[in-house]
Amino acid sequence: MEQSSARARATSALPVVIALLVIAVLFVVFRDTDDKDPSPAAPPTTASEKVDLSKLRASSTKTTIKAAPKDPRPTKVPKGTVVHPKRMLPLYDEPDGTAFAKIAPKQFGDTWLPVITRNRDWVQVLLPSKPNGSTGWLRSGDVQEAHSRFRVEVHLGSHELQLIEDGRLIGTWSVAIGAPGTPTPTGRTFVLGQITDEKQPFSPVILPLGSHSDTLDSYGGGPGTVALHGWTDPSVFGQSVSHGCVRVPDDALALLRTVPTGTPVMVDKA
């Protein structure tokens, strides 16, 4: 008798339970329908795709980009990491910041820029444009990364150039540097490219750097770009006689021409 009444109570409760379940299901269905965006999800947009590159000036050895951030540590030796922009890319004033210029994948051949700072998925690089010591930020996912095992050091006070490979000194040479009125600029820069011309009267190889004369806006038809190159008269070595370029002996030039683009160059007053 007690089992029969318990069964009856359970049976009479079923419609209530079923009704509550139906209401709960309907609530979930209608709630989900209201919250959903009926339009298809748009693919994520990168920072590079949001920028109108046509409105930005290209950073090159021929341009001046006054908005470029200055090198915060011009005497710190870079670690040798270099990057190559895979395409025309915007340059930013800071990570997730404002685009102020753009950089092309080619300058004198492929563009390789030394990395001076990392911040999450961003890299800060030295630039080839004026003023000297200009930098910019690139997304690390937009560049190809490599490593230069070389470093070039130019010591203006002693008129010496040193080539270093994997932290080991390869050689030291007496060189000619900028005259007092057209000094060689100090700070860290880099090998921007290599120009080979066997018919060139004073040097068959010229290595333009990412720095420029502080006193000459142009020289020899160019934009005043500082370079490493040879010289036919060895009596100039150890002297301050150039328009800002560093003139090196033939044996030094033979080694320097093997240095990859993007290699850091440190110039100091010592």
Model confidence pLDDT, tens digit, residues 112-168: 999 999 999 999 999 999 999 999 999 999 999 999 999 999 999 999 999 999 999
How high is the pLDDT of residue 33? Answer: 33
In the chain, the number of structural domains is 2
Q: 252 and 184, same structural domain?
A: yes
Do the bridges between strand 160-165 and strand 150-155 make them parallel or antiparallel, or are there none, so unpaired? Answer: antiparallel
How high is the pLDDT of residue 11? Answer: 45
- State which of 80, 113, 146 marks the end of a domain: 146
What CA–CA distances, in Å, run from 118 to 41, 43, 73, 140, 239? 32, 27, 14, 9, 39
Active site residue 212: no
Annotated catalytic residue: which of 84, 147, 229, 243?
229
pLDDT tens-digit map of 92-117: 999 999 999 999 999 999 999 999 99
Q: Where are the alpha helices (DSSP H) in the chain?
A: 2-35, 47-50, 250-256
Q: 114 and 176, same structural domain?
A: no
Active site residue 159: no
Q: In this structure, is the dihedral angle defined by the CA atoms of residues 50, 54, 58 and 64, taken in order, positive or negative?
A: negative
The 3 state secondary structure assigned to 89-126 is EEEECCCCCCEEEEECCEECEECCEEEEEEECCEEEEE
What CA–CA distances, in Å, run from 79 to 76, 90, 118, 147? 9, 24, 11, 9
Backbone dihedral angles phi then psi of residue 262, each to the nearest 5 degrees = 95, -10
User: How far apart are alpha carbons 223 and 50 in whole angstroms?
Assistant: 32
> Is 26 within the bounds of a domain?
no
Say if CB 263 and CB 77 are below 8 A apart.
no
Output the six-digit token pair for 152.
């070039």
Task: Look up the domain containing 206 and give its range.
Answer: 150-268
Q: 188 and 262, same structural domain?
A: yes
- State which of 146, 181, 210 marks the end of a domain: 146
- State which of 146, 175, 190 marks the end of a domain: 146
Banded model confidence at residue 12, pLDDT cuts 50, 70, 90: very low
